[in-house]
Structure 1
Amino acid sequence: MNLHFSFVILTFNEQLHLPRLLKSIKGLEAHVYILDSGSTDETLTICEEYGAQVAYHPFENHPKQWAAALKQFNIETPWTIGLDADQIVTPELFERLQNFNDADYRDTDGIYFNRKNFFKGKWLRFGGYYPKYLLKMFRTGVGKSDLNENMDHRFIVPGKTVTWKDGHILEENLKENEISFWISKHNRYSDLVAHEEIERMNAVRAQSVKRNLFGNPDERIAFLKNIWWKLPLYVRPFFYLFYRMIIKLGILDGKNGVLFHFLQGFWFRLIVDVKIDELLNKKSHIDDVKK
């Protein structure tokens, strides 16, 4: 059994994706821990077939579910790798993990993997989506789930990180091939983001990651998000669409890629702004009534 790292995975009705992921990591002979939130399909049967240890926790949002997962299991390896069920470890990353030795990373708390994201079978090579570095591997007990966001989930560590640029995780949610699923999912997400931004306006939330344009990938994102929150509602989705399509060449991603950049970079952001505006107007109306 692998003595260096273990895998933790979140699931909810992932019979479509989970076999791909588990097959891609099977040869690493690592412990696999799965936190399920009430699957009613064949997910749990698949977990049993691959010998994964499973626990249940009701789902509220991704950051909280990841926090629950890291607390739920008694992980004894020095490193933990957190993967989403719709991700796959490529052969190149598999080889890198197969040769991984904790002794080579004594001064390191976290490792960024490079992700390739797919939409309707299309690799999103442009639009700012590649390269995309995600902190996926971290020292057990040191890495935490960032609870200061409602939707976006990330792991954070206090110390040094390194970035593996070669080898990838492939991410493709096959359920999103049906546009109705994508819209329904992101409509729910827009509620979470709208409430989160209202809380940031009221100083209820603060960023966990320091803002640094020249820092690690998450520090750069924190820097850019801080700018985003200060931009005017309804205007910023247009800026972002222009950035994705023109500056970051998203238009070169073809029909499906352009559709994704429009939906995720403009439609979703616009719906968030509408919901923020509605929440602010509702609060203003309640305050007027109280007067």
Structure 2
Amino acid sequence: MLLSLIVLTKNEQANLPHCLASLEKLGAEVFVVDSGSSDRTVEIAKQLGCQVFEHPFENHAAQINWALQNLPIKTPWIMRLDADERLTPELVEELKQILPYTDEKITGYQVKRRVFFMGRWIRHGGYYPTWLLRIWRTDFGVCEQRWMDEHIVLKQGKIAKFQHDIIDENKKGLSFWIDKHNRYADREVKDMVSLVAEKEDDLLKSSQYSQAIGRRWIKKNLYTRSPLFLRAFLYFLMRYIIGLGFLDGLEGLIFHFLQGFWYRFLVDAKIYELQKKEVSSG
């Protein structure tokens, strides 16, 4: 085996079978790191041949780094995959054909993420292609410590790109999506506060993270410095009008409004609440 996959789970019985089914022809070892599932997640993972480990969840970055430090990974390559993601058959074949013959100077690969929402591919509004470093040589990668928007950072080496996609499609429905983003908003507040305070960003030291650099720079230097609430309106307009999000149809309207406006407005409301508490306690 050349490749091991790390999949983080909690109550993912609706998504995990689709994720693991996409890996069947890859011939890789799959490690599932579960954080206290109360459904059939662990049972499904074991039935489908995964090695299952339990670890309490703090955030994605801490969970990934725990996995890198503690899992008995013996393959030369590692891939991170979320339980609601799956590989396209074309990417599976590409991995099998290219990974064994990768030049030693290349220590990581980026792949494109293709997001589906309510069964529709969200192709506009800046959502595709999103390039993510998801595959790296064992012992060469670590996850930066962030509450949200965490990336794998390589210790050294060059980064190449695969041409085919991973698909992000959560099967749990809209109510779960809203609950999840409410929890994300709490983490986003912590991340935005720390982003404003930090003087240097390790991720930005690597010129190869071109898309991640650009988005992080915009978030830190433009978005966080814009007025609360107004920035949520402007961001939605940028995505839906200038970014042609309206071409994604009715599902796209729902997605871009909820993810590009409602979620960002909610984050600002939580920041505003935090500021009021600080004023009253000060």
Residue 264 (structure 1) aligned with residue 262 (structure 2): no
CA distance in 2, matches of 1:75, 1:85: 19
Per the alignment, residue 156 of structure 1 pairs with: 153
Post-superposition offset of 1:76: 1.4
Match of 1:216 among 190, 205, 210: 210
Gap regions ≥5 residues in structure 1:
none
Residue 199 (structure 1) aligned with residue 199 (structure 2): no
Gap regions ≥5 residues in structure 2:
none
Where 1:99 maps in the other structure, the secondary structure is helix
Post-superposition offset of 1:217: 2.3
CA distance in 2, matches of 1:183, 1:126: 21
Where 1:230 maps in the other structure, the secondary structure is coil
Residue 187 (structure 1) aligned with residue 185 (structure 2): no
Per the alignment, residue 249 of structure 1 pairs with: 244
Per the alignment, residue 238 of structure 1 pairs with: 233
Post-superposition offset of 1:190: 0.8
Contact persistence 2:240–2:246 (CA under 8 A) = yes
Post-superposition offset of 1:182: 1.9
Per the alignment, residue 273 of structure 1 pairs with: 268
Where 1:15 maps in the other structure, the secondary structure is coil
Contact persistence 1:211–1:223 (CA under 8 A) = no
Residue 50 (structure 1) aligned with residue 51 (structure 2): no
Match of 1:167 among 143, 164, 167: 164
Contact persistence 1:59–1:65 (CA under 8 A) = yes
Per the alignment, residue 82 of structure 1 pairs with: 80
Where 1:109 maps in the other structure, the secondary structure is strand
Return the TM-score normalized by structure 1. Answer: 0.90
Post-superposition offset of 1:116: 0.7
Match of 1:129 among 127, 130, 133: 127
Post-superposition offset of 1:215: 5.1
Post-superposition offset of 1:141: 1.2
Match of 2:36 among 35, 38, 57: 38
What is the count of residue pairs matched by the alignment? Answer: 280
Post-superposition offset of 1:114: 0.9
Post-superposition offset of 1:198: 2.5
How high is the sequence identity, in percent, across the aligned residues?
A: 40
Cα separation, partners in 2 of 1:121 and 1:270, compared to 1, 3 Å: same
CA distance in 1, matches of 2:252, 2:208: 28
Where 1:161 maps in the other structure, the secondary structure is strand
Per the alignment, residue 138 of structure 2 pairs with: 140
Contact persistence 1:6–1:77 (CA under 8 A) = yes
CA distance in 2, matches of 1:11, 1:191: 20
Contact persistence 1:36–1:54 (CA under 8 A) = yes
Q: CA offsets per residue over residues 77-132 of structure 1, 9 Å max, x none?
A: 11100000111111110100111344423111211111110011010011111111
Runs of 4+ in 1 over 4 A off after TM superposition: 211-215
Cα separation, partners in 2 of 1:205 and 1:14, compared to 1, 3 Å: farther
Contact persistence 1:195–1:276 (CA under 8 A) = no
- Shifted more, 119-128 versus 212-221: the winner is 212-221
Post-superposition offset of 1:206: 5.1
Contact persistence 1:63–1:152 (CA under 8 A) = no
Post-superposition offset of 1:54: 0.9
Where 1:233 maps in the other structure, the secondary structure is coil
- Shifted more, 219-228 versus 88-97: the winner is 219-228
Cα separation, partners in 2 of 1:212 and 1:285, compared to 1, 3 Å: farther
Return the TM-score normalized by structure 2. Answer: 0.93
Contact persistence 2:159–2:208 (CA under 8 A) = no
Where 2:4 maps in the other structure, the secondary structure is strand
Post-superposition offset of 1:266: 0.5
RMSD (Å) for aligned C-alpha atoms: 1.9
Post-superposition offset of 1:75: 1.2
Q: CA offsets per residue over residues 134-182 of structure 1, 9 Å max, x none?
A: 11101111111111x2122321213321122x2111110111x23x222
Post-superposition offset of 1:42: 1.3
CA distance in 1, matches of 2:76, 2:254: 42
